[in-house]
Amino acid sequence: MGAVGRDGARLADPLARVGVDVSGVEPLPGRSYRWRAEHGAAGGAPLKERQQLGVYSRWRPDPPRAARQSEILFLGSMPPRCQLALLEAAEGPRLVALDTMRDYILGHRRRLQAVLRRVDLLFVNRPELEALAPEGAGSLLRGGRLTAVVLKDSARGAQLITSHGEWRMPAAEVEAVVDPTGAGDALAGGMLGRLAQLGRVDEPALREALTEGTRWAALAISHFGPEGLLRAAQAGS
C-alpha cells in the first residue's frame, strides 16, 4: 500500500505480474516520493540522506478490505500520521511491525511515539536507534507492547534484541553489492513472510525468520532496484 505520483504508477505493473496485490497503491497527481542517499566506500548506513515526500504529503490511507483484515501489518517508513491512519483502519492484527527513519524520529517524535506504543516489532539501523533511544534498544522493550527490535547492521548482518538477550545473524554473502537501496525493506518483508508461514512469533520463530530475511536482503542488494526480488519471486524461491 502507498501513494505514487503519475510518474510512478507504471512501477506497479512488474509487481502485479509476480502476484503482488497492488490494489492499495494509489496514483495521485504530482511527483512520487524520492529518497537520495550517499554511502561510504565501506557501505553501512548512509552518510547523507534526503527525502522529498511528494504525494505522500497529502496521502490519506484507505486500505482495501483484505489489507484491513491482515494478521500481520508492516508499517513501512512513511510519515507517522499515515502509519497511525493504517493502524486505525486495521482490524486486530496479531503482529504489527514498524520501520522508520531519522527524519521522522527527529521531526515527528510525538506522533512516532504514539505509533511505537502500538507495535510488536521494530526495524531500525544503528543511527536510527541512536536517535530514537540513545540509552540502547533495551530501553524500548520495558513496560510496553514492543517485544523485539531488529537492528539492521549493513555488512555485519542483523541483530535480534529481545528481553531474553541479543542474537546476531551474519549477512548473507553476495558476489557484489550493486544497489543497497531497499535492503532493510527486503529483510523486513522476508522476515515477516516467514513468520506468517510459521504462524507464531516466539523466540525460535523470530530467529528463523530473521535468517530468511537476510537471504532476501542479499537478493535485493545484488541487483539494481527490485530486479533481484522480482527474479526470485518469478522463480518461486
Within-domain flag for 211: no
Within-domain flag for 160: yes
Within-domain flag for 146: yes
CATH number at 72 reads: 3.40.1190.20
Within-domain flag for 202: no
> Percent of the chain scored above 90 by pLDDT?
65
Rounded to the nearest integer, the mean pLDDT of the chain is 91
Residue with grid cell 524520529, as numbered in its chain: 105
For the chain, give the number of residues: 237
DSSP 8-state assignment for residue 24: T
Within-domain flag for 188: no
Phi-psi region of 161 (alpha: psi -120 to 50; beta: other; left: phi over 0): beta
Number of domains in the chain: 1
- In this structure, the number of other CB atoms found within 10 A of the CB of residue 224 comes to 10
φ/ψ (deg, to 5) at 75 = -90, 95
Predicted TM-score of the model (pTM): 0.91
75 in Cβ contact with 98 (< 8 Å): yes
45 has a pLDDT exceeding 70: no
Within-domain flag for 114: yes
Within-domain flag for 118: yes
Grid coordinates representing 228? 533481484
Predicted confidence at residue 48, as pLDDT, reads 77
Beta strands in the chain (DSSP E): 2-5, 25-28, 34-40, 43-52, 72-75, 95-99, 121-125, 148-152, 158-162, 165-169
85 has a pLDDT exceeding 80: yes
d(CA 13, CA 18): 9
Within-domain flag for 210: no
Range of the domain at 135: 2-170
Question: pLDDT digits over 114-171, tens only?
Answer: 999 999 999 999 999 999 999 999 999 988 899 999 999 988 899 999 999 999 999 9
